[in-house]
Structure 1
Amino acid sequence: MSWAGRRWGRRQRAVLWAVLLAAWEAAWGQLRYSVPEELPKGSFVGDVAKDLGLQLPELSDRGVRIAERSRKQYFFLHRKTGHLVTAERIDREQLCERVQQCVLRCELIVEGEMKVYDIEVEIKDINDNAPTFREAEIELRMSETTAPGSRFLLPDAHDPDLGQHSVQSYELSGDEHFSLAVQAGPGGDQRPELVLAKALDREEAAFHELLLRAMDGGDPARTGTARIRVTVVDANDNAPVFSQAEYTVRVPEDVPVGSVLVTVTATDADEGPNGQVKYSIQKTTERASQIFQLDSRTGAITLLQSLDFEEGNSYELEVQAHDGGGLFDTAKVLVTVTDVNDNAPELTV
């Protein structure tokens, strides 16, 4: 081949590469639009005909069509207007969950001119989701001896929206015993914590009902709630208390054996084993221990032997009430025996 022929061949290849490069530049990133999510079907996205310089009467003749890169078609070309419109309602969270920038790509193919144009449509987030908690009811158990200032991690709320439309703050309402602290997590997320602000007392309140509220940054803000039920676990912080410090009873000496003379009663504000009261005689005389019996469960004092006014006209018992944790209270029981005419006169010379 001559030098002129080789030069002409190089020139042809250079022109071909220039044409291909121009076509490649036209095909990539030529059109880019941005629309909010959740638009109804048929909503305007962009004026493709105007942006590409296509004449409306020639759209049908040239065989212009939209080809989606995904299996689903989200856009179509309106042939009368040359507008790119939505083919269905688009949910950004369903397409691009946890992705900062959600972009859908399609191609505009002009078959009559053998041209292909890339179109990118960015789907903008809107505040269409409210924060939600995984569990609507949160159960916590705390001992009534828990120190004020103690912290308990709470479940955080989830919002699939991004940026300001995601969870921005938490609020707690319902009880002066508790407050809320919010800590920043490793990824910048917020983590709510329940703080015990005031000492608990199960005898005062066995349960505490709270409401945790999560809010996003939308305008207006969307909120989600979870109910917190705190069960106060009993501690043995109450001793049994007798209804009387001293019990006094008067009985005739002829009262039948087995009779209940008096019943002592003590109550304990605790629950479970800590609130179960048992009774015992703590202090008495040898003679009295043979005459009286105390029921450890009911507190009833019964007569074991017959009384005799002439042998003893009064007895004193010290009884004790104790719970399962070792706390106790004491009371006195005074039994006065009254005389009955059960002896005939005796003559002594």
Structure 2
Amino acid sequence: MPVTFTRRNAKNNQMDTNDPAMNHLLSPQVYDLDQGNNGTFTLHLELDDNQLLDKELRAQLVDTFYVTPLQSTNDATLSVRVRNSSALDYEKLKQIKLRMIAKERTPSVGHSLRFNSAELIVTIKDANDNAPQFSQEIYYGSVSEVPIPGVMVAQVSATDIDDGIFGTDGIRYTSLRGDIAAALSLNPITGLITVKNDTDFKDSKNSVYFDREQHTQHFLIVEARDAAGFGNKNTVQLVINITDVNDQVPRFLQSSYTGRIYENQKRFEQDLILSAVDDDAPNTANSRIVYSIVNSSSPFVSHFNIDPNSGRITVAKPLDFEAIQGRIADSRNISFKVRVHDHGIPPLSSQVPVNIMVFDQNDNAPVFSKSLYTKSIPEDVRDGSMVVQVSATDADHSPANSRVYYRLLA
């Protein structure tokens, strides 16, 4: 009688790829009712030739399973076990077809070695052996330094090649860490990162989170876990750029500026250059500044120009010291203000006082009160007697240049 299996196939054998123990698979019984050596048979396993497997994977699976016992007489209950589970990868192969071969050890009289076979289908169960993988190595986001609560900052996305809750469907974004994480919300399902709705950004304590003038970038870590947030984890870096808002008023580097110039001159004694800075983002409209002279009631403002880009004040037309109202002194002052403003929307500006010290030049000659003085004196006039008194004035208005000295010329 030939060797015979009680069942020609065995299905629904499931194997956990994450179980390091020797997995036992349900297998049928085999029997040969011949007597003595004629009833002795050997057992072994083969991969089903009809299963489409690449060469490398087939080679890995050859020694994955083994059967016990290897030999029996009359009947045996087969036990198929796993020798090496490293080749069992659910993501590569979800089902394996094995063929159990029972072969007579000794041929019956008049017969060649007879054999029989049965199919064993092994279904691989998925194990949570893969961590979520983010779609990018680094994520970038941006937010205004004066953000609207609830506005989107960035969105991360991860996948997991495991199935079910161990796979992409079970991914939860579980943690957001970094210096501004307290001001952000992370949606555990979608990976969407937004500005918290409950943050009062008008409060000085919270406004520092997004102050671009303190930090232009922030580096955070986003964590994702599978198994509904309780399984394997992975992290990714999130870089948030803070976009500028025109919230910085241009400021002059000095509280006031002073220039010195002599009348009739077209250059200051030293260059008069005003300097201002704007702490908003460099090379943007918010930080690009322009200088201008503020309209003033002083009639002398028109004597000056200012370069709108450099802040350098130059003389448009020379000054006349004597035309400037004031007491007799070495210098007289002209005061006005300069404004600096940026190109933001709306533009912000500030002003600074400028004082010009104008010094007198000796540009006026003394003038006698008469063009001719005449006087008759007797021939016997006494020595030291007064003959005539002359008078002259000088139009210069400084003490040194307006003082008049007299002498006689032969």
Superposed pair shares fold, TM > 0.5: yes
Query: Alpha-carbon deviation of 1:229?
Result: 0.8
Among 328, 339, 355, the residue aligned to 1:320: 339
Structure 1 residue 84 corresponds to structure 2 residue 96: no
Among 52, 70, 73, the residue aligned to 2:29: 52
Among 84, 88, 92, the residue aligned to 1:94: 92
Unaligned runs of 5+ in 1: 1-22, 96-101, 184-189
Unaligned runs of 5+ in 2: 71-77, 105-113, 202-209, 325-331, 371-410
C-alpha separation in 2, matches of 1:235 and 1:248:
33
C-alpha separation in 2, matches of 1:206 and 1:307:
49
- Equivalent residue runs for 1:109-120 within 5 Å: 109-110=101-102, 115-120=116-121
Query: Alpha-carbon deviation of 1:182?
Result: 2.3
Given the superposition, is the C-alpha separation of residues 58 and 206 from structure 1 closer, same or farther in structure 2, using an over 3 Å criterion?
farther
**Post-superposition CA distance 1:213-262 (Å, at most 9, x none):** 11234999532111111111212222322334543444443655366552
Identify the residue that residue 96 of structure 2 maps to in structure 1.
104
When structure 1 is superposed on structure 2, of 239-248 and 292-301 the one drifting more is 239-248
AA matched with 1:175: D
Sequence identity (%): 24
Query: Alpha-carbon deviation of 1:90?
Result: 1.4
Among 11, 34, 37, the residue aligned to 2:17: 37
- Equivalent residue runs for 1:205-244 within 5 Å: 205-217=215-227, 221-244=231-254
Query: Alpha-carbon deviation of 1:339?
Result: 3.0
Paired residues of 1:46 and 1:85 also in contact (CA < 8 A)? yes
C-alpha separation in 2, matches of 1:245 and 1:337:
21
Larger radius of gyration between Structure 1 and Structure 2: 2
**Post-superposition CA distance 1:13-67 (Å, at most 9, x none):** xxxxxxxxxx999334x45533222678x9654374xx41458x98984675534
Given the superposition, is the C-alpha separation of residues 148 and 117 from structure 1 closer, same or farther in structure 2, using an over 3 Å criterion?
same
Query: Alpha-carbon deviation of 1:133?
Result: 0.5
Query: Alpha-carbon deviation of 1:310?
Result: 1.5
**Post-superposition CA distance 1:276-306 (Å, at most 9, x none):** 1111122135852442111111111122333
C-alpha separation in 1, matches of 2:286 and 2:143:
17
Given the superposition, is the C-alpha separation of residues 71 and 84 from structure 1 closer, same or farther in structure 2, using an over 3 Å criterion?
farther
- Equivalent residue runs for 1:264-343 within 5 Å: 264-271=274-281, 272-284=284-296, 287-312=299-324, 313-325=332-344, 326-343=347-364
Identify the residue that residue 191 of structure 1 maps to in structure 2.
190
Kindly indicate which of the two structures has a greater share of residues assigned to helix. 1
AA matched with 1:232: I
C-alpha separation in 2, matches of 1:278 and 1:118:
88
When structure 1 is superposed on structure 2, of 102-111 and 266-275 the one drifting more is 102-111
Q: Residue 358 of structure 2 aligns to a residue in which SS?
A: strand
Among 176, 185, 191, the residue aligned to 1:180: 185
TM-score by length of 1: 0.73
C-alpha separation in 2, matches of 1:70 and 1:86:
19
Identify the residue that residue 128 of structure 1 maps to in structure 2.
129
Paired residues of 2:172 and 2:229 also in contact (CA < 8 A)? no
**Post-superposition CA distance 1:282-335 (Å, at most 9, x none):** 213585244211111111112233333212233222322111123222222221
- The number of aligned residues is 310
**Post-superposition CA distance 1:124-177 (Å, at most 9, x none):** 222321221011200112233430222345222222224554434421000235
C-alpha separation in 2, matches of 1:65 and 1:211:
50
Q: Residue 108 of structure 1 aligns to a residue in which SS?
A: strand
AA matched with 1:308: D
TM-score by length of 2: 0.64
